[in-house]
Structure 1
Amino acid sequence: MDFTEYDTRVAGYAVIVDPADRVLLSWWNGEARPELAAWSLPGGGIEFAEAVEDGVVREVHEESGYHVELNGFLGTSTWIDTERPRPRKGVRLFYTARIVGGALGTTEVAGSTDRAEWLPRAEVDALPSVADVVTIGLDLLAARATPPA
């Protein structure tokens, strides 16, 4: 399929782990589909005229209340959705970040994120509802920390 025949959604996410090995997650409320609600990494859709990095910083602040500085690029993932009237391809970019200010608490009003929390990284897999971006982001972080064989 030619690129003119589908829509593209670009999203950026931050993987933020504190010294106690807790990861910052945001609760996506599923919007109009509450059955899809899940823990996610802070991040989301990048605006049309926005640099990806600026969009990640903005999204993290909206969803967690923290101001961050990106300090590393981890990688990408893609997905496709052919169930829509017009197919869509999603491109997701993952970064590491460090907190430089702010306080825990979402700044979105009536948005898609209800809250943010620090959760132990070792317990993430056991959470009842986790978006795939969490697994992807943590796997990318682990791969970066593991020396090549």
Structure 2
Amino acid sequence: MHFTEFHVRLAAYGLAVNTADEVLVTWFNGSTGAPACWTMPGGGVEFDENCSDAVIREFFEETGYHVTPGPILGEHHTTFPATADRAPVRSQRFLFAVTVESGVLGTTEVGGTTEFARWVPRPELRSLTPRADIVDVAADALDRPARGDGQPNVNE
């Protein structure tokens, strides 16, 4: 299918791990019609916004933390069929490593899709249910061996 025949939803998410080896996740409330589930902090990239800026904005809105984005750790896409009132949709998601710089845990966006954020032990990440596919992308990134400098190995 040619790119002019479908819509694209671009999204950027962040993966934060604290010193207690906990991962920050959020609870998506299902208010857009998609099922409620655990997901990574992040969301849609605005029209004239780059992905790194979207991660910074979304992370603060959903978690209360100011972050610095690092490398892209993974990507995922999914598609949705056409409906009577829209063309098919491709949802393209990128997962960035992020470093929490400051802030206080709490959702700052009023009336948004995130109900709350929570730190969960890293080993429990894959057992969260229900969960969005981007959580598995994050778990896969965490399972890859680190490079010699301690940074995630994003080339495997």
Q: Comparing both structures, which one devotes a greater share of its residues to helix?
A: 1
Please report how far the alpha carbon of residue 26 of structure 1 lies from its aligned counterpart in structure 2 after TM superposition: 0.7
Write out aligned runs for 1:50-129 (5 A): 50-84=49-83, 85-129=86-130
Please report how far the alpha carbon of residue 16 of structure 1 lies from its aligned counterpart in structure 2 after TM superposition: 0.6
Residue 39 of structure 2 aligns to which amino acid in structure 1? S
- CA–CA separation in structure 1 for the residues paired with 2:59 and 2:120: 16
Percent identity, aligned pairs only, is 40
RMSD of aligned Cα (Å): 2.0
- CA–CA separation in structure 2 for the residues paired with 1:37 and 1:122: 22
- CA–CA separation in structure 1 for the residues paired with 2:31 and 2:133: 17
Please report how far the alpha carbon of residue 127 of structure 1 lies from its aligned counterpart in structure 2 after TM superposition: 2.2
Aligned length: 148
Contact 2:107 2:116 in 1 (8 A): yes
Contact 1:9 1:90 in 2 (8 A): yes
Runs of 5+ unmatched residues, structure 2:
148-152
Please report how far the alpha carbon of residue 81 of structure 1 lies from its aligned counterpart in structure 2 after TM superposition: 1.0
Contact 2:64 2:104 in 1 (8 A): yes
Please report how far the alpha carbon of residue 141 of structure 1 lies from its aligned counterpart in structure 2 after TM superposition: 3.3
- CA–CA separation in structure 1 for the residues paired with 2:133 and 2:117: 17
Please report how far the alpha carbon of residue 132 of structure 1 lies from its aligned counterpart in structure 2 after TM superposition: 1.1
SS state at 1:140 partner: helix
Contact 1:15 1:138 in 2 (8 A): no
- CA–CA separation in structure 2 for the residues paired with 1:105 and 1:77: 27
Runs of 5+ unmatched residues, structure 1:
none
- CA–CA separation in structure 2 for the residues paired with 1:123 and 1:141: 12
Q: Deviations over 1:30-64 (max 9, x none)?
A: 11447x11111000000000011000110000000
- CA–CA separation in structure 2 for the residues paired with 1:42 and 1:29: 13
SS state at 2:105 partner: coil
Contact 2:41 2:58 in 1 (8 A): yes
- Tell me the equivalent position of 2:139: 138
- Tell me the equivalent position of 2:150: none
Please report how far the alpha carbon of residue 98 of structure 1 lies from its aligned counterpart in structure 2 after TM superposition: 0.6
Contact 1:74 1:144 in 2 (8 A): no
